[in-house]
Structure 1
Amino acid sequence: MANNNEVMDVDVLFAGGGIASLSSALHLTNLIKNYNETKKDGKGKNLDEGMIAILEKGPYPGAHGISGAAIDPAPLKELVPDYLERGAPIEADVEKEAVYFLTEKRQFKIPLGLAPKSLNPLDNHGNCIVSVSRLNQWLAGLVEENGVNIFHGFPGVELLYEGNRVIGVRSGDKGIAHDGSKKPNFEPGIDLHAKVTVLGEGSRGSLTKTLLNRLGHGADRNAEGFEIGVKEVWELPEKRLGPGEIIHTMGYPLKSNTFGGGFIYGMKDNRVSIG
């Protein structure tokens, strides 16, 4: 069957528009810009800025990132040294934190100082709280300022190959009815051909899984393990939980043979990220 998909050629294509892809695209464009500005004695040829594109299934930046997060600001400062001056959506610096072990009727506070910070992932002293969605939107703005094209509402549905070499991604068709028939507004997907394709679709990316299966990677390794997270953003009465306050829990209602726990991150405007 003939392929009638439109073809678009780019230099670097990122599949997935989350924090990882946005940060990578921003860093890449900064490297190109810095090289061109700092060549010694004007020797050498300027690097072509090239065509860099990001393929994102969500209708807008951060559409699938409702979680809150406590992050170490050091990598963000390295990527964007003046991130505060440029309006990074930091909800609050971590000012208060606690860890509780829960039973059905009681709670036991666990001292955070039992292990050094480097060995204690629940110690967030010096970190800050962010909304992943808002951070995603902010980074997307910086990336677009640097000339990167972000295609929203275009899920990547298939990797394109020459032999076993990935040459790009095919986006999904639009205008498909629930029964699979084509609506009057049907538009076929686009074949984005790239010199370099970067897969940044998350821990269970559909394109990544097909690539690993095709190449046989991981066949002789231990099976991957995954966790399920349930996350929401709530608005609480005033002074219930302040910005910058963190609570982590473990124990009840999970069984003793089930790994997991809960978190509450205090944000601005009486909002909390809970999960």
Structure 2
Amino acid sequence: MEISISMKALIAGEQIASSKLSRKLRDELLAEGMLLVIPHGSKQSYRARDPEALKRFLIDKDENYRILETDSSDSRASMAAETGNSKFVMVRSCPGFPVNSYEPIECFLDGEPFMVHPQKGSFLFVAEWKQFTIPENVVVIGIENMENFRMIRKQRRFFEKYLQAHGLANRVLFVSRYPQSTDLRKWLCTIPNHYLHFGDFDLAGINIFLFNFQQYLGKERSSYLIPDDIESRLKVGSRKRYDTQYDRFKNLKSDTCELQRLIDLIHRERKGYDQEGYIGHGLLQP
């Protein structure tokens, strides 16, 4: 598989013109939050929000992108020497997803007890996710942003108040979709636990939840974390974020009342709000 020059440029952190990407791939990368849109008058260009995350997403999407992990100085002969196969062995080097918790959660990995309680400043990574099971009375919270994921202890009061107010179990396992792959979603489909999605409060963030999680898990088993104070937060949010996403997601709808109200609120305020704003601050309302 030959990787396009434009895709290599994106992964190298460079900016490319909209015309250099196929529409299908561009729309998919925008929906996944992989690209930053840079307006130039009536035209647009793109840059990877996180080049490493983009590379991982492409590899998980199509193993042929594994060639991106090979240094450009490597020859087919050297790959053959290392792998015994000049066509390169297509095996994912790091399947799975990170997990975190601010209190001990006794889980099981391959049938053996596995305690999830990382020391402050660290988290765990579950590679053998097909053998990973958790107690049924644990709520799984998926966090899109790695900064929020790493700093769950600074958001503990926020999560506890939200779970209590919405009648959800107070025992929580935090998971992340980084690096972007379908492993987390596939694992969620095998367990009965409720999934609570904590993402950015913008149209793209809601789109990720609707089409990467809820359509597979169903409305009974999944929900979007919508803080009580989101209206006041949106008032000081980003107008640029909303304007950038509008054309792509202006027709976004949800048949879940609470989520549709959030979509309507975003359109009314014409702003988006990053989830990082909740680190260390909790709810603004008592």
Range class of TM-score, shorter chain: under 0.3
More helix per residue: 1 or 2?
Answer: 2
More strand per residue: 1 or 2?
Answer: 1
* Structure (1 or 2) with the larger CA radius of gyration: 1
TM-score normalised per structure 1: 0.22
TM-score normalised per structure 2: 0.22
